[in-house]
């Protein structure tokens, strides 16, 4: 098994769905140098926090956070493709492999889909032939955990087609876990490239059902007839957490119904999910979310949630805009913003003296500097490609 060399480029933020933008801009070399120095300090912080015995990062969710740590090192803009894999990555890779389960998942006790998706993405970036079967089994595990409740093969439940944390017996799916799973499955297709007829026997995600789930999370009446869809033009095109709940605001309507407001981080996840599912930039659902994201561009807070989930927002934004080949954000008032330079300057200013980043708002574990530092290193790694 050999994963094509273009996989690393894909992981850094390229997707075949969107062609390269025609306009290329000379980026600020001084800012790129600052970014590289910032990443070096951030990686030194992660080095200091890696368990020297097990190779893991994190205690509360070590498989997922170790996966994020590996990705951070592999996206290091100071690293050349010909450089050897960092010792920290090799040690962390062994930790992931030791947590591979007979069912194919890579996790410790719970949240199998979440942990497996991040672990698989990390293993693909440090591809080793001896880990081929672990990666293939992880891929199958994610495919088999796509939700199909009630009548099989029929989209008769709002959660059908989605993917959740993996320990909820099919009763939960959300756009964040869906995005991580779709990303891992998108890149893991490379595992099947040299399998010939054997590849035909590998299970595939039901992409049509996945797209149905994704669009059921979008505030867009033309493609989503759910009763919660907001009638406020300010929400049009954005996303919520899943078709039956939100992490954002709820707004009562005059008729007694409840509308759910779009918010930033999950709208970037929605854009990513559409791309990984194969939709192109001309699809009206993709156009709608891009318009919402441009209208709500904010380098200082997670639109609709403020400081909550801010660092997840930064990494999801950097990944989505990079993959979508969006060079400039055109705001609602017509201002054109070089988002790469803007976000880089913001993130450099937030770095702490020890090289880490952390969120004073601790929701979703963002008070953990290992988690948030990994998020930002991933964001900066992708930004550097085209800054």
Task: List Cβ neighbours of 1 (8 Å cut-off, separation of 6 or more).
Answer: 129, 132, 191, 194
Confidence label for 166 from pLDDT (cuts 50, 70 and 90): confident
> What is d(CA 175, CA 82) in angstroms, rounded to the nearest whole number?
36
Residue 169 within any structural domain of the chain: yes
**Which ranges of 112-257 does DSSP label H, i.e. alpha helix?**
112-125, 132-144, 175-188, 207-215
Predicted confidence (pLDDT) at residue 168 exceeds the cutoff of 90: no
pLDDT at 2: 46
Predicted confidence (pLDDT) at residue 7 exceeds the cutoff of 80: no
The whole-model pTM stands at 0.92
Domain range for 257 is 6-384
Question: What is the helix, strand, coil percentage profile of the chain, to 5?
Answer: 50, 5, 45
Residue 229 within any structural domain of the chain: yes
219 or 12, higher pLDDT:
219
> What is d(CA 31, CA 29) in angstroms, rounded to the nearest whole number?
5
260-297 pLDDT, tens digit each: 999 999 999 999 999 999 999 999 999 999 999 999 99
> Lowest-confidence range among 1-10, 236-245, 267-276?
1-10
Residue 1 within any structural domain of the chain: no
Residue 317 within any structural domain of the chain: yes
pLDDT at 54: 96
How many distinct structural domains can be found in the chain? 1
Q: Is 360 exposed, middle or buried, given 0-12, 13-18 or 19+ CB atoms closer than 10 A?
A: exposed
75-93 pLDDT, tens digit each: 999 998 889 999 999 999 9
Element spanning 90, H or E: helix 87-98
pLDDT at 197: 74
pLDDT at 158: 86
Element spanning 316, H or E: helix 310-323
10-24, 221-235, 244-258, range with greatest mean pLDDT: 221-235
Predicted confidence (pLDDT) at residue 115 exceeds the cutoff of 60: yes
Q: How far is CA 169 from CA 15, 138, 154, 157, in A?
A: 32, 18, 18, 14
Predicted confidence (pLDDT) at residue 5 exceeds the cutoff of 60: no
Residue 68 within any structural domain of the chain: yes
Please say whether the beta carbons of 74 and 8 come within 8 A: yes
CATH number of the domain that residue 79 is part of? 1.50.10.20
Task: Using alpha carbons, select from 221, 228, 321 the residue that is nearest to residue 269.
Answer: 321
């Amino acid at each position: 098994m050999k994963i094509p060399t273009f996989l690393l480029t894909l992981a850094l933020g390229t997707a075949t769905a969107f062609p390269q933008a025609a306009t290329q801009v000379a980026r600020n070399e001084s800012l790129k140098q600052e970014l590289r120095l910032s990443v070096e300090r951030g990686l030194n912080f992660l080095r200091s926090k890696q368990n020297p015995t097990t190779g893991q990062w994190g205690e509360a969710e070590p498989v997922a956070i170790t996966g994020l740590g590996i990705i951070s090192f592999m996206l290091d803009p100071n690293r050349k493709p010909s450089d050897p894999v960092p010792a920290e990555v090799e040690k962390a890779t062994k930790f992931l492999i030791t947590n591979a389960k007979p069912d194919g998942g890579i996790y410790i006790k719970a949240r199998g889909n979440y942990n497996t998706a991040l672990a698989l993405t990390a293993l693909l970036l440090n591809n080793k032939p001896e880990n081929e079967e672990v990666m293939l089994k992880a891929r199958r595990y994610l495919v088999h955990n796509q939700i199909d409740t009630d009548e099989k093969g029929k989209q008769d439940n709002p959660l059908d087609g989605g993917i959740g944390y993996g320990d909820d017996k099919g009763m939960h799916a959300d756009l964040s876990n869906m995005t991580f799973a779709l990303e891992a499955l998108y890149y893991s297709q490379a595992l099947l490239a040299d399998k010939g007829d054997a590849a035909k026997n590998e299970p595939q995600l039901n992409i049509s059902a996945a797209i149905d789930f994704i669009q059921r999370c979008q505030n867009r009446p033309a493609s989503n007839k759910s009763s919660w869809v907001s009638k406020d033009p300010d929400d049009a095109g954005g996303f919520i957490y899943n078709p039956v709940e939100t992490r954002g605001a709820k707004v009562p309507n005059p008729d007694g119904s409840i509308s759910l407001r779009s918010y930033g981080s999950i709208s970037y996840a929605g854009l990513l999910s559409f791309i990984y599912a194969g939709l192109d930039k001309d699809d009206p659902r993709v156009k709608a979310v891009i318009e919402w994201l441009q209208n709500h561009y904010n380098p200082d807070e997670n639109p609709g949630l403020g400081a909550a989930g801010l660092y997840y927002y930064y990494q999801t934004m950097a990944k989505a805009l990079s993959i979508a080949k969006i060079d400039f954000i055109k705001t609602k008032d017509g201002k054109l913003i070089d988002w790469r330079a803007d976000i880089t300057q913001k993130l450099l200013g937030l770095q702490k003296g020890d090289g880490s980043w952390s969120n004073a708002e601790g929701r979703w574990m963002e008070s953990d500097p290992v988690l948030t530092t990994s998020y930002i290193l991933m964001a900066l790694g992708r930004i550097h490609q085209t800054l």
